[in-house]
Chains A and B, each alone.
Chain A
Amino acid sequence: MSENSLAIRKFSDLANPTRFLALADRVLPWFAALTALFFVVGLWLSFTTEGDYQQGETVRIMYVHVPAAWLSMMCYSVMALAALGTLVWRHPLADVSSRAAAPIGACFTFLALVTGSLWGKPMWGAWWVWDARLTSVFVLFLMYLGLMALNRAMDDPARSSRVSAVLVLVGFVNIPIIKFSVEWWNTLHQPASVLRLDGPTIDPEFLRPLVVMAIAFTLLFFTLHIAAMRNEIWRRRVTSLRRLAARSAGREA
């Protein structure tokens, strides 16, 4: 294959896994460096800005809790888009993308749950309450684990991709439930204070580190997602090569 044919000129060129691998090789170092830079600035801001007059130091938990919670929902949305790509356009990389995203999403959801619990104990006096927000995020965590189990249970990606895509799309109904749970039901969890129609109600002192940390988490997600997609492509190549080797060995025998 000549170097020229690997150039990515339009979006559909990304459908070629070899082209995707070449692109991943090129962008990953930049993404990793940007992620590190944003984390350095974000962490510095997180620990140098003032504490809250009511919450004291514990407000700093927000700078990891809120980005982790946002990412847990964004990751599932990426998977839902990928599921559409599998079912509607049969994009060869869609299933790779969805599969690679699941463990990353599970980790972010786990972080949102644990840091929320560590924030809840000093502020609410309870590690956990079964209110609508906490319960729906816990359900999201279970869905990530279920999808990972399903993906591992079926050997042939060609068969598992459609089942997994349907399940991802069905589960997507949980995302608006998580987002609006704090408005629809009377929850102990506070309602949104950043992504609101009437603008953020949070003080700029807290908003600045929060935004920088949110960008850092988002960059971390994309870096890991691209790297995990590359791993998944390699994994499929290993599987098909082994099959090829077994077939030719059978023929020789």
Chain B
Amino acid sequence: MMSHAAYVFASYGIATLTAVGLCLWVIADGRARQRELRELEASGVRRRSAEASTGEPR
């Protein structure tokens, strides 16, 4: 039998791990997609809408 405090800390621990893990996954996913976009751009592939304009493609 765990003490009551152990249940509380286990709850907050799991909540922190899940929330931080989710944030890190979203950030890592975003960075990976941006890197792919930059690589494609560097190899000269452009979106049609970006080709039509003079501005930087996003």
Residues of A near any B CB (own CB < 8 A) = 1-2, 18, 21-22, 56-58, 60-61, 64-65, 68, 103-104, 107, 110-111, 114-115, 118-119, 121-122, 220, 224, 227-228, 230-231, 234-235, 237-238, 240-242, 244-245, 248
Contact = CB atoms under 8 A, between A and B. Distances in A.
A231 B8 contact: no
A51 to B, nearest CB: 9
A230 B22 contact: no
Contacts of B18: 107, 110-111
Interface footprint category on B: 20 to 34
A2 B55 CA distance: 7
Contacts of B49: 1, 18
Dominant secondary structure at the B interface: helix
B57 to A, nearest CB: 9
Given A58-B8, A115-B11, A241 B19 contact: no
Interface in B33-57: 33-34, 36-37, 40, 43, 45-47, 49, 53, 55
Contacts of A237: 37, 47
B40 A241 contact: yes
A121 B7 contact: yes
A242 B10 CA distance: 45
Contacts, number: 94
Nearest to B21: A107
A41 B7 CA distance: 22
Given A57-B4, A224-B26, A118 B45 contact: no
A238 B37 contact: yes
Nearest to A17: B58
Contacts of B30: 227, 230-231, 234
A64 B11 contact: yes
Going nearest first, the 7 A-B pairs with the smallest beta carbon separation are A234-B33, A245-B45, A115-B11, A64-B15, A61-B11, A57-B4, A238-B36
Given A68-B15, A107-B18, A58 B33 contact: no
B47 A118 contact: no
Contact of B23 (A110, A119, A224): A224
B22 to A, nearest CB: 5
Residue among A61, A118, A248 having the largest count of chain B Cβ atoms under 10 Å: A118
Given A64-B12, A231-B26, A241 B7 contact: no
A228 B23 CA distance: 10
